Amino acid sequence: MRTLLAIAILAAIPSLALGAEKPSWAFPVSEKELPPDKYADKAPSAPGSAKTYTRAQIDDPYAPPDWYPDLHPAMPKVVAQGNKATQVRGCALCHLPTGTGHDESAYVAGLPVTYFLRQMQDFKTGARKGGAGTMIAMGPIISDQEVREAAEYFAAVKPRQWIRVVETDTVPKTYVGRGNKRLIHPAGGSEPIGMRIIEIPEEEEVVINRDPRTGFVAYVPKGSIAKGEAMVTQGGGGKTIQCTICHGPDLHGIGDVPPIAGRQASYIVRQLWNFQNGERVGNSAALMKAVVEKLSTDDMLAIAAYTASRAP
């Protein structure tokens, strides 16, 4: 009787029975015990920049650094400073003035305005959740005018190469530091990559200083890119629907369908898992339902490895 009851329960909730296992490596959370911060007493700098900032200013949510103003258009207030009175953080804190972001955030440069607006509405209504705590908090308090100004700004920022994908068997040992940022462990050493994506800064101090000059290297298991290409361009033998149908042959997006080429690999995995497991719902997510329903975590990894390897 207990067995029959268990089968009945599983049959009633197929999405839970069939959903891919949550990949913890794609959802980094700051560790409780951290190694000493080797940058705490070091004055931030950015070669070639006329700007100077203290460590506290680097992390100021209402005045994030803008080391190189010539790398981007003039920023609206919501991007450059946010709104301290309403506790809306400046977009540039996490996404940088260039919109390229870090591995724990999102690459938003070049997103269509209509797509950006729809995603912010989904954060406001709760249709988008899952590993996006800051954006969930921003959704209800940011004004419609601020959202539109941010959307139009990032749509006008030209995407640039930000991710370098490397297939490997071993990776440096890492830890997840403040702000959910994955960094190389100061103790050194290496470990097998397994079936994970390990995304770390090309130049750690540059990233710590929120300097937009250099991006990230995404280490992926050997064979991932070819497997991902087959799934993205051909559907993986019926396991999914070709991404190129909606996102375009170069994955640069079509109309208000967003570009996915050259974006953070771990971010793509997070979104695929969120679509499959109900953390992203609503009208904007409806088209992804059939795409993700049969994917395993390893499939998501392969898709992300391939899309991240493409030119944005």
C-alpha angle 241/244/249, rounded to 5°? 160
Q: What is the pLDDT of residue 11?
A: 40
Listed residue (307, 302, 168) closest to 228, CA to CA: 302
The yes-or-no verdict on residue 283 having pLDDT over 90 is no
Instruction: Choose which CATH entry (3.30.450.90, 3.90.1300.10, 1.10.760.10, 1.20.59.10) describes domain 55-156.
Output: 1.10.760.10
Q: Give the chain's end-to-end CA distance (angstroms, integer).
A: 56
More confident residue, 38 or 131: 38
Confidence label for 78 from pLDDT (cuts 50, 70 and 90): very high
- Cα separation, 66 vs 300, in Å, equals 34
- Cα separation, 107 vs 166, in Å, equals 19
Listed residue (262, 251, 255, 207) closest to 96, CA to CA: 207
Q: What is the pLDDT of residue 5?
A: 41
User: What residue spans define the domains of the chain?
Assistant: 19-30+160-309, 55-156
- What's the burial of 213, exposed, middle or buried (CB within 10 Å: 0-12/13-18/19+)? middle
More confident residue, 283 or 171: 171
So what's the architecture of 19-30+160-309 in CATH?
Orthogonal Bundle (1.10)
Q: What is this structure's pTM?
A: 0.92
Q: Do domains 19-30+160-309 and 55-156 have the same CATH topology?
A: yes
- What's the burial of 209, exposed, middle or buried (CB within 10 Å: 0-12/13-18/19+)? buried
Pairing between strand 216-221 and 163-168?
Answer: parallel
Q: What is the pLDDT of residue 282?
A: 85
CB atoms within 10 A of CB 109: 26
Q: What is the pLDDT of residue 7?
A: 38
Q: What is the pLDDT of residue 20?
A: 86
pLDDT tens profile 172-185? 999 999 999 999 99
Confidence label for 18 from pLDDT (cuts 50, 70 and 90): low
The yes-or-no verdict on residue 229 having pLDDT over 50 is yes
pLDDT tens profile 103-126? 999 999 999 999 999 999 999 999
Range 88-92 average pLDDT:
98
Q: What is the pLDDT of residue 300?
A: 98
Q: What is the pLDDT of residue 210?
A: 97
